[in-house]
Structure 1
Amino acid sequence: MNQTIVFFLLLVVNGICLAKAIDTSTCSCTCCSGSGCKPAFQGAFPLDSCFIMRCMELCSAKYAACPLFGSGGHLGAHPKKSSPEITTIISSTSTSESTLPSTTTSASTPTSAPTTITTQKFAWLNTGDMNFARHEHTASLLPDGKVLVTGGTENMSIQNAAELYDPSTGLWTTTGVMNDIRKGHIAVVLKSGKVLVAGGYNENAYLNTAELYDPLTGMWTMTGSMNDARNFAAASILENGKVLICGGNNANNILNTAELYDPSGDLWTATRNMHYARNGHTASLLLDGHVLVTGGFSDHTYLDSTEFFDSSTESWIIAYTMHFKRQYHIAIVLSNGKVLVTGGSFGGTTQDTAELYDPVKDLWDKAGTMIHKRHNHVGILLKNGEALVSGGSDGIHALKSAELYNPSTRMWKSAGDMNYKREFHAVSRLTDGRVLMIGGFYGDADLSSTELYNPEF
């Protein structure tokens, strides 16, 4: 007997949704808001390649009556394909695996073929793939809410390609090509909305070149060159609109030099040197306008030293020492102004330690232990004040795990697993609070895949 399958997601309480990938489909949206409401058809649109969760996201984005993550309601996402197939259904609340009656199979499938219910949570959702796989790239949130990704390495080939992610469609489109191929570079969004990209490596040389991306035209223009070529430097925009870049490496040298980019004149000027040469370090803009630099590697030594840059005097001031030496760690400025530092490696050992810097007291305090040790990971502050950390390497394998730090309780908890293992990936928090994980390396190849974390799930 032919039978139509209709899918609804009952938010918060329970729900079912289609999870099988469909090559070509039409996404049809049927939904309504409020507990006990009756779903109504909203509209449909074509998709060249569609996961049902992607279809559901677009329904929610296009139609106000479709609250994907809300206080209640129904969302029906109906991909249609010319040839019917068995449908996989996922329940967000079930903790067991069972088999649906055979009457739920499609018309072309024997009635004895079961459809499987599989447990899954939807905090992590796949979104559109980039046009290029890449790691050691950058991601920058633009004023219009799109995300610009630049450079990196695709299967041993360094890129000059750049592309934009549009959260309203979940799609990536290529934009202007950089003048230099580069990986291990920095990217900073200026107060004008333009994006400054500088340094890195191009397969033949370490770079001192810099260029600007204009989101209004989609074009790249060369700007003044830095005084030093540098790869894996750290950078931060300052309150006065200038950009500080410091440290990094070129050839056999690890640098203690720092310089400032002034957008008004498109020029770089050398500023005072750091107290320590650093590679694999971090630079974080504090609430008081100082820039805190932490850790790294220098002269065959892993560093626990920290220092901050005072832009008013253009001087470096030694800060209190961390509890642990580390490089390839991350630093996140929390809502309370403290700085959370996590993971990294020391002497070939990957760390699970975390610590907090208090700029008022100039003191470091231990901040618990992460669930997983990791370096080459990413992290970002969520709108709710928690810090999200994901991916990286445990020293042997790339990781798909993610975890959350709560500053109030100073505790770590799991944030579930990403759909892909990732290290050397990039991250950006979208204007709606969701977090976009971009590309990376999973142990065998570079990734073009991207996915979204929704902290409100």
Structure 2
Amino acid sequence: MVEGQSRSAWKAVLGVCVGLLGGPAAAQVPELEGRWSPPLSWPLSAQHIHLLPDGKVMFFEDFAGGGQAPYVWEPATDTFAALPLPPFNVFGAGHSYLSDGRLLLTGGHSEPRVGEARAAIFNPYTGVWEPAPDMNDKRRYPTNTTLPDGDVLVLSGETVGSGVTNALPQRWVDGTQSWRDLSTAGRKLPHSPRMFLAPNGKLFFAGAWRSNLWLDPEGTGTWFGSTRSLHGGRAYGGAVYLDGKVLLVGGGDPPTNTVELIDLNQPSPTWTSQSPMRVARRHHNTTLLPDGTVLVTGGTQSGGFDDRGGAVFHAEIWDPETNTWHSLASGSVYRGYHSTALLLPDGRVLSAGGNGESSAEIFEPPYLFKGPRPAVQEAPDELLPGTVFPVSTPDGSQIKKVTLLALGSSTHAFDQNQRLLTLPYSVTDDGLRVSAPESNVLAPPGPYLLFLVNEAGVPSVAKKVQVGKVPSRFASVIAFSDVWKYDDGNVDRGTSWLASDYDDSAWKSGPGQFGHGDGDEATVLNATTPTQPTVYFRKKITLDKPVLAARLEALFDDGVQVWINGVPVYSKNVGNGLDFGKYASGSTSNEYRRESLSLDSAPFVVGENLVTALVKQVGPRSDDLSFALALQVQFENFQEEHQRAIAFGDRWEYDDSGVDPGPSWMAPAFDSASWKVGVGQFGHGDGDEVTVLASPRPARPSTYFRKKIHLSGPVTSASLELLFEDGVAVFVNGTQVFARNVGRLAHSKYATGSLENARETVELVLQPNPFVKGENTVAVVVKQVGATSPDLSFDLALDVGVQVPAP
């Protein structure tokens, strides 16, 4: 880098307060409204902006025709350093971080409304631009999305004129530094499509169109339908990802103040309306904050493309816990089209750019005025998904939340890299034990900011951490886009087609997805009148080692049944599937299902395996059909190790005070330091207790127990053995896994029935799985049946199957 100039003096505050919307520089009450700095003079308009791994900020604008090269700003010293010119004009590029912290830029500006086919990598550690192979065609305003293995998918981008976009998705394969085409996933998308890696490993297209889509990036790619947002198109609206949910904010023309949320953790997610913003906005920036709230800055409330007359100066903040918006202080400069915003490691937000605006402002959110910050004294430099790591802090008992945020990389009202994850944790003597994200699907590899947030909502200064890459335990053996043999000839094939030696040489073949009537098919099937009830599919795969577990994903419309080596493994909306003439028993619309397969019948073999499927339509007038299937297997590189995690007679913390401990007593972070400690069995009134509990009159309704256990790997099975009377509820990491004779959990409620020293063994259903690798909290409430109950008993044993590497 060439060391550049220090910024010039701050501009004078512009004007006086003219109300909520117009107020350049209104009077500010920081603890309620936050605080804006005066405008800062910058060397150019920050129309693309990136938080680098070292905490500095890189920014650039259109430098065609001899304009200025990118700059780096150092927040600590408020100085600038000029960067070398990139190999082409990267204005209008897509951008996201690679797993090693380098920034991949795709496309850019060749001439007005004409994209650029080149790509480049900026190395923040050396300040050097590194070459990358060209893409298939030009792209201007594409979107980059980092994938779980560190690859990057680039979509859309204008090619040679308004409305002419690059329809071919391409995958940057980081291991080979090359591009791979998703040749079966061509689709025209808007500029800067709002794409997010979802918890199911697919990419979710959230806008700016109203219709949403899923993209499976495996193989040669497959699109399939999703839901529709509640509002119309949201051009230049905000979209952010937090804990598996996507929030859409404003946008459109005329602009809207509507807000909606979709939870991608759900099997069939749909949008739900949220409280609206105080004012409609377009061209605003939407920024995730360390405490899990969402900040909106800038934009215009007027119709048309970029009307300064409708400038919105005040910021707003959304609290997901209360679904409420609060108006904050007003900045001084109109930040509309080509403006950007970025979260800094100290919790402030940088707001910059806009057409012709070479300035920036710093916003300090209200949380920075609510008391001292918690401190991160020490934390690992690298986090591996699925592990537990220590954080040294003197403020452990005061921590309310631990969050992980990917570094921001923002342009055109969308941050293509930022995502927020809330991490489970427990308090230790010297700080916290924090659970890293479960997998790279939740946290793709790359640089992140780790924040601690205290009870007052004040965040620490972030610790920069690197999320490492952990290979998935599951290997893909069939992708949605793979080639199958199929028979859509409307002929009954009986049962012989299920056999491995069946002659399917006359069958057709093609890639998934298959179907007709929806427009998203890679292979269009025969559409008969009346509609044929059944279409057949066959595919052979070779496995070189035994299979421990499997996951199947099916996309279908309307019914489907799947066999592996002749063993039925999945069926939906199909009665007697082999009855060719029977239609589906229910109707779906491109339904997507993901299932873990039961392997009790051991359908897989080492060597060649046959996967067969049939798809049924719902009736003779059905106008569409869909089918695609993906299969992932876990080979026996891992084995299940059975462990007795808790034994009868073990030590527990307990509270028999009769005082309500509050609603979070079962949570891992609950402070139980004042509780008593004893060993099982616990109770009173029977004479067989090791730890005798208090026995007041009237009998207390609830007695509480907590225990920390450490598990060496992911839990694949679990069973409880319980001794109790009269009612009991068991929680693992705050999730209830079993209850008997417990109606309401309220502290003052007695058990709903009476049991005398009952013993019960229960196999736990681990969907979702409440256990994590590392530290786990088991919490139990035991309830007596009434005020005159004379006795109480409790003890517990827990057996788990833990997945460990095979020797």
Q: TM-score range by the shorter chain?
A: 0.5 to 0.7
- In structure 2, relative to structure 1, the CA distance for the partners of 1:261 and 1:425 (3 Å cut) is same
Alignment-derived partner of residue 300 in structure 2: 393
1:217 and 1:309 map into 2 onto residues whose CA distance is 35
Tell me the residue number matched to 2:210: 304
Alignment match, 1:146: 56
SS of the residue corresponding to residue 314 of structure 2 reads strand
Partner residue, 2:443? none
Counterpart of 2:424 in structure 1 is: none
1:133 corresponding residue in structure 2? 45
The whole-number CA distance in structure 1 between the counterparts of 2:88 and 2:366 is 37
Evaluate the alpha carbon distance shift between residue 52 and residue 277 of structure 1 in structure 2; reply closer, same or farther with a 3 A threshold. Answer: closer
Partner SS, residue 250 of structure 1:
strand
Equivalences for residues 222-233 of structure 1 within 5 A: 222-233=131-142
Out of 236, 254, 257, which is 1:349 matched to?
254
Report the counterpart of residue 325 of structure 1 in structure 2: 232
Instruction: Kindly indicate whether residue 349 of structure 2 is the aligned counterpart of residue 435 of structure 1.
Output: yes
Q: Distance in 2 between matches of 1:292 and 1:450?
A: 32
Aligned length: 333
Distance 1:289 1:415, change over 3 A: farther
Report deviation, 1:275.
5.0
Partner of 1:182: 90
2-structure distance, mates of 1:206, 1:52: 36
Residue 146 of structure 1, CA deviation: 1.3
Q: What's the counterpart of residue 237 of structure 1?
A: 146
C-alpha change, 1:274 and 1:353, in structure 2 (3 Å) is farther
**Displacement of 1:287 after TM fit?**
4.0
In structure 2, what residue type is equivalent to 1:431? P
1:376 aligns with 2:283: yes
Q: Is the 8 A contact 2:41 2:359 kept in 1?
A: yes
State the Cα distance separating 1:228 from its structure 2 match: 2.3
* Match of residue 197 from structure 1: 105
| Cα pair 2:28 2:329 within 8 Å, conserved | no
Structure 2 CA distance for partners of 1:367 and 1:290, relative to 1, 3 Å = same
Q: Distance in 2 between matches of 1:321 and 1:160?
A: 42
What is the RMSD computed on CA atoms of the aligned residues? 2.8
Whole-angstrom distance in 1 between the partners of 2:116 and 2:73 = 27
Distance 1:399 1:200, change over 3 A: farther
Q: How does 1:107-122 map to 2 (within 5 A)?
A: 119-121=27-29
Change (3 A) 1:238 1:48: closer
Question: Conserved in 2, the CA contact under 8 Å of 1:194 and 1:213?
Answer: yes
Question: Which residue is equivalent to 1:417?
Answer: 330
Task: Identify the residue that residue 222 of structure 2 maps to in structure 1.
Answer: 315
CA-to-partner distance for each residue in 1:259-279, whole Å, 9 max, x for gaps? 111222221221142555323
Q: What is the alpha-carbon distance in structure 2 between the residues aligned to residue 223 and residue 189 of structure 1?
A: 14
Give the letter aligned to residue 312 of structure 2. L
Q: Is the 8 A contact 1:138 1:187 kept in 2?
A: no
Q: Tell me the SS of whatever aligns to 1:350.
A: coil
Residue 362 of structure 2: aligned partner? 451
Cα distance in 2, alignment partners of residues 268 and 455 from structure 1: 44
Q: CA deviation at 1:416?
A: 1.9
Aligned-partner Cα distance in 2 for 1:288–1:315: 14
Alpha-carbon displacement from aligned partner over 1:301-342 (angstroms, at most 9, x marks no partner): xx31111223345432321111122222221112x3211011
Any idea what the Cα deviations from partners look like across 1:101-151, whole Å, max 9, x if unmatched? xxxxxxxxxxxxxxxxx94345222475332234xx32122211112213x
* 1:10 alignment counterpart: none
Q: Which runs of 5+ in 2 are unaligned?
A: 1-5, 17-25, 370-807
Match of 2:340 among 416, 420, 426: 426
Question: 2:204 — aligned with what?
Answer: 292
Where 1:369 maps in the other structure, the secondary structure is coil
Does the aligned pair in 1 maintain the 2:116–2:140 contact within 8 Å? yes
Matched with 2:179 is 268
Alignment partners' CA distance in 1, 2:295 and 2:350: 11
TM-score normalised according to structure 2 size: 0.39
Q: 1:290 to 1:146 in 2, by over 3 A?
A: farther
CA contact (8 A) 2:39 2:333 kept: no
Q: Which residue of 1 aligns with 2:381?
A: none
- Asked if residue 211 in structure 1 is aligned to residue 120 in structure 2, the reply is yes
* Structure 1 residues 168-208: Cα deviation after superposition (integer angstroms, max 9, x where no partner): 12332212221112322112121111111111223254101
Q: Is the 8 A contact 1:354 1:369 kept in 2?
A: yes
1:307 alignment partner AA: L
Q: Deviations over 1:333-373 (max 9, x none)?
A: 12x3211011121xx42221111011114111111211121
CA distance in 1, matches of 2:189, 2:317: 32
Query: 2:249 matched to 1:338?
Result: no
CA contact (8 A) 1:138 1:149 kept: yes
Q: What residue in structure 2 maps to residue 406 of structure 1?
A: 319
Using the aligned pairs only, state the percent identity.
Answer: 26
Query: For the residues of structure 2 that align with 1:48 and 1:323, how far apart are their CA atoms?
Result: 45
Q: Tell whether the 8 Å contact from 2:7 to 2:42 is kept in structure 1 after alignment.
A: no
**C-alpha displacement at 1:418, in angstroms?**
1.8
CA shift, 1:50, in A, is 4.6
Q: Report the Cα distance in structure 2 between the residues aligned to 1:452 and 1:242, rounded to whole angstroms.
A: 34
- TM-score by length of structure 1 reads 0.67
Match of 2:273 among 366, 377, 390: 366
Q: Matched residues in 1 for 2:40 and 2:202: separation?
A: 37
